[in-house]
Amino acid sequence: MTSSFIELTSTTKKPEKRTSLSGQTTGGVQAPAPAMYWSLPNVYGKIPKPTRAHISVIVGDLMYVFGGTDSKHCLGSLYTLELDTFTWNKPKVYGDIPPPCRAHSAVVYEQTIYIFGGGDGPAYHNHFFALDTSNMTWHKPCTSGPIPSARRAHVAVVWSDAMYVFGGGDGAQALNDICVLNLKTMCWSVLETTGPKPIARGYHSGTLVGSKLVIFGGSDGHECFGDIHAFDLESQRWHPFNIEPHVPRLSHAAVCVGSYLFVTGGHDGSHYCKDLLLLNLVTMSWEVRKVYGNAPSNRGYHTMLLYDSRLFMFGGYDGKKFFNDLYVLELSSCAYLPQITNFSIDTSVSF
Q: Domain range for residue 150?
A: 3-349
Q: Indicate if the pLDDT at residue 25 is higher than 80.
A: no
Task: Of 8-22, 41-55, 118-132, 145-159, give the lowest mean pLDDT range.
Answer: 8-22
Q: What is the pLDDT of residue 31?
A: 62
Q: For strand 36-39 and strand 291-293, is the pairing parallel, antiparallel, or unpaired?
A: parallel
Q: How many domains are there within the chain?
A: 1
Instruction: Find out whether 249 and 266 touch, Cβ atoms under 8 Å.
Output: yes
Task: Of 3-12, 20-29, 187-196, 225-234, give the lowest mean pLDDT range.
Answer: 3-12
Q: What is the CATH number of the domain that holds 291?
A: 2.120.10.80
DSSP 297-312: PS-BS-EEEEETTEEE
Gyration radius from the chain CA atoms: 19
User: Structure pTM?
Assistant: 0.90
- Residue 342 burial (10 A CB sphere; 0-12, 13-18, 19+): exposed
| pLDDT mean across residues, the chain | 91
Q: What is the mean pLDDT of residues 213-217?
A: 98
Q: What is the mean pLDDT of residues 44-68?
A: 98
Q: What is the mean pLDDT of residues 279-289?
A: 93
Share of the chain above pLDDT 70, in %: 90
pLDDT digits (tens, 9 = 90+) for 130-162: 999 999 999 999 999 999 999 999 999 999 999
CA 70 remoteness from chain centre: 19
Task: Of 33-42, 178-187, 224-233, give the lowest mean pLDDT range.
Answer: 33-42
Q: Indicate if the pLDDT at residue 4 is higher than 90.
A: no
